[in-house]
Structure 1
Amino acid sequence: MGVSTLTVASPHAERTAPLTTEHAGQVDPHAVTGASTGSFAYGAVGNQTARPGGTTVRYTPFDLPERITQGASTITFGYDGDQQRIRKTTPEKETLYFGDLYERVTAAASGTVEHRYHVHSPERVIAIVTRGGPDDGTRYVHVDHLGSVDALTDEDGDKCYPGHRCHHSSVRSSSSSEVRRSRIHLEF
């Protein structure tokens, strides 16, 4: 059994964290099996089934995540016959997906319903129109040269963060209306 140790600096940690990979018996010899915060576990086909912090993941027969549990909090996913996600349920909300055009988000506590319409160009989603809920309005999706989401802006060009109100933060450059490059992580 070969053991490798890789030390990485995390932007979310105050110190570096050594990661360990064990080669014998692993489907993926480069899979991380340990970190200073705990260990990782994998199923027979290489799906991660446990991670540090007590998080466990259960998969469907088609290798899609079905349930993610951390402590008392559980997120569940439902899929249709084509293995496309149709439901995501968290303790805070339930999201129903209707293809890649529409999402209905219902808050668990209040029952408030938010409707999200995805506007497409021939290549990708270019805008998300939301009606109802706290984020009512249109969000424009800006991508980088690889097609990854780079920023979301509102009708005025102000930067938006998913689940939060838009902030006037000088997203526009002073010389043009081109959006400055800044990474935003979207909720999936």
Structure 2
Amino acid sequence: FQKLSERGLLRPGFKALCVGAGSGHSVLALRENGLPDAIGIDRKSFAPLVRRGDIHRLPFAHDSFDFVFSASFDRALVPALLASEVERTLKTGGVAAMLVSPRRLNVGNAINPFYSLSPVVALFRNSDVVHVTQVGPPNAHDATVIVLRKLPFGSSKSLGLEQEYSWSKQNRSLVKLAEPLTMDHGNAIY
């Protein structure tokens, strides 16, 4: 979360949510980085950090959070529904950070059998990509963080005026920088 803070995407006092928070390590990290009201949601409660709830039907009002993080996006049963819920609960201009693993994306998951970020990004219909970065050891391609900013209602993308499964030129260039996500016997898999 430190790098997001350095980029001005995460600021002290933001209201933050961790989706699929498990035992609350990410919630605790956010609290230690100046977000004392950060809360997590998962199928099991780990009070006081994580509330019990369905990640596909978040128990929060529209526009509740400045920041939403998930390290469980690629394990969601219905990724499109999770993306929709993240955007619903995120305030306009708010930031979402999705940690995805190319290894998990390929394990029988309908999001993306080809290890690509493009289908993941396309699920966020009301957000633009602002940053993409690899995490883990260099060249390991263990995981990627996709950082998105929710667009104001009325933008061409939020009104559905862009072609289905397309996004802005900026999104394409950022995603292209992160591709390929993995290597198969020395050959890039796109």
- TM-score by length of structure 1 reads 0.28
> Comparing both chains, which one has the higher relative contact order based on Cα–Cα distances under 8 Å and sequence gaps of 6 or more?
2
Instruction: Return the index of the structure with the highest Cα Rg.
Output: 1
Higher strand share: 1
Higher helix share: 2
